[in-house]
Amino acid sequence: MSALEDGIAILGCFTFEETALTQAELTRRVGRPKATVSRVMKTLRETGMLEYDPASRLYRPGIRLFELGQISRAHQSFLDLVQKHLQHVCAVGGHTGYITVFDGPQLAVLRMVRGSSPVAIATTPGYRAWPHATSNGRAMLALLSEEEWKLRVPAELPRLSKNTPKDHAELLERIRVIRETGRSYSSDDSYEGVSSQGMALRDPDSGEVIGIAISYPTALVTEALKETVAALLDAMKADLERRHTA
């Protein structure tokens, strides 16, 4: 394990029920050598991630974690609103929805909302995908300048299927269409048998680009389904933008 993984494991031992623990107990729970845990905890103390009470010899989450939590909480408020709208889209449209953000050169799924249809394309939170090969990813790239999105994708694009953009020129053409039409579609790009429609918008507070996708089996695709989902996503985006410009 890396030092980062060790640090995450140590911090993950604290809960609302157990807000303070001894070093011996933390060492036991993470199952790592005592010297390793001691070294990592020293770094966590020095960076404010952990606090130590010499009287009780207990460790507890530090002020820096509190600050990061406040940042996360402020960000979550907009995500909560996005998820509320997405739940309506999934209930009416019947298919699974996702909220994604950039994570280096890839996308990470933050939240998943199941639709009302018994036939579901399910991807768990934390799953990563290539933005050039997804409807939501290409919509997210479309919000960036050409210089910015080229920094987000590899020079040589991973070819996941025959429908995946094979190079930057083809990706640029897909992005151009998204900017002109406001619609982003994907059909068997990442996986055979999976299609989706996506959109993207910026968090009005942080400026972070957030992607939204509705996925469904390609076998179920009809023009009526595409128009229904597109109209729901358009209405969702318009309402979210209106709420934050009023």
Domains, the chain, ordered by start: 3-61 (1.10.10.10), 73-243 (3.30.450.40)
Distance between CA atoms of 45 and 60, rounded to whole angstroms? 10
The verdict on pTM exceeding 0.85 is no
| Burial (0-12, 13-18, 19+ Cβ within 10 Å), 29 | middle
Q: Tell me what pLDDT residue 191 has.
A: 84
Q: List the pLDDT tens digit at each of the 246 positions of the chain.
A: 688 898 999 999 998 788 899 999 999 999 999 999 999 999 999 999 999 999 999 999 998 888 887 776 666 678 888 999 999 999 888 899 999 999 888 999 999 998 876 655 666 677 889 999 999 999 999 999 988 988 889 999 998 899 999 999 999 999 999 999 999 999 999 888 889 999 999 988 888 999 999 999 998 889 999 999 999 999 999 888 876 655
**Rg, C-alpha atoms of the chain:** 22
> Do residues 147 and 124 touch, judged by C-beta distance below 8 A?
no
Q: Tell me what pLDDT residue 190 has.
A: 86
Distance between CA atoms of 104 and 8, rounded to whole angstroms? 19
| Helix or strand (DSSP H, E) at 142 | helix 135-142
Q: Tell me what pLDDT residue 149 has.
A: 87
Q: Tell me what pLDDT residue 68 has.
A: 82
Q: Tell me what pLDDT residue 73 has.
A: 64
- Nearest by Cα to 56 from 28, 25, 34: 25
Strand stretches in 23-157, DSSP E: 50-53, 58-61, 96-103, 106-113, 128-129
User: And the tokens for 51?
Assistant: 């606090």
Q: Tell me what pLDDT residue 72 has.
A: 67
Q: Name the residue type at position 225.
A: L
Distance between CA atoms of 196 and 90, rounded to whole angstroms? 13
Q: Tell me what pLDDT residue 244 has.
A: 60
| Burial (0-12, 13-18, 19+ Cβ within 10 Å), 222 | exposed
Cα angle: 241, vertex 243, 246; to 5 degrees: 100
Q: Tell me what pLDDT residue 116 has.
A: 72
Distance between CA atoms of 18 and 21, rounded to whole angstroms? 7
Expressed in percent and rounded to 5, the helix, strand and coil fractions of the chain are 50, 20, 35
